Copies of this chain bind each other. A is one copy, B any other.
């Protein structure tokens, strides 16, 4: 029997000054367990940036204490920005091989410290002795990739701006999203510069959030897990023959499709920390030809009624938000809700298959989880 996503719980992503990691995590878990009542045997926690900003080792066991799950088996999984899906992978494997219920909880807080400190911490998703060496924060690599992309494919800034606009239009309908307002494409290029050609409107906001997913090897619930796969990629964009092609994404996707026995999916959540990463993932997944993703986005291919799958109905990292260690768990929960037709926002009508694709940084690692409706 396949492992299922029995239930999920989400908190709205926001600057939760009055809530700490345990407050947020408990809220998400309460939401996930409110109907099932079933206690999990394993707790897999996923936290990333907070580990550096407000250090806590063995966070998973202290989280178990806050949840009243003393005696459960608890551990934390970390893979940078892909931590959430890495925790789903670990939880899935635990559920399969033990036959026990596994609760996966992603939680992270980015709003407690000044943004300059947060950027210094987030920079460490890149290689410490390489791209993270200079005091340039988190955005530089995305700026380089965007610059390369525009040059190589002759894509103009305005066309790329349809990505954040689409994300905001999706997030408006998602009660869990951090940025629930529309953004016109023409406003993107002239917003505060972050790493040229990218602006603040191309970048994820710094917010706090927690998401919980209860995995059940007895089946039932929102959706089934068809496969969870991953691959590591190069340690730097400098080590890639073609940095605009994300090797780790391609490989994790190929593995996941093959294991799931499907050729594609109808609903998709992908990692768009910056506009360029969303576009490169679309192209690496072959949902758009090279250099054509932005144009397809502008044409509405990936929103409701479009020719492609529905992508980032949540609003994506850009507008739903990106509480680093929690993001992959949000993605998994959102896709499962879509397949059960209970996602409280933009919906993929009658979708039977969905996927979440998460990466760290420029693609030092990538994770793909594929779900099917029950």
Contacts and interface: CB of A to CB of B under 8 A. Distances in A.
B54 A128 contact: yes
Interface stretch (A30-38, A140-148, A172-180, A230-238): A230-238
A324 to B, nearest CB: 8
A369 to B, nearest CB: 13
Contact of A55 (B60, B74, B124, B360): B124
Nearest to A58: B80
Interface size of A as a range: 35 or more
B229 A62 contact: no
Contacts of A94: 90, 93
A35 to B, nearest CB: 24
B75 A58 contact: no
Nearest to A98: B93
A79 B93 contact: no
Contacts of A365: 58, 60-61, 74-75
Interface of A: 20, 43, 48-49, 51-52, 54-62, 64-65, 69-83, 86, 89-90, 93-94, 96-98, 121, 124-125, 127-129, 229-235, 239, 247, 251, 360-361, 364-365
21 contacts: A43-B232, A49-B57, A52-B57, A57-B81, A58-B80, A61-B80, A61-B232, A61-B233, A62-B127, A65-B234, A70-B233, A72-B232, A75-B77, A75-B89, A75-B230, A77-B78, A78-B78, A90-B93, A93-B94, A93-B97, A93-B98
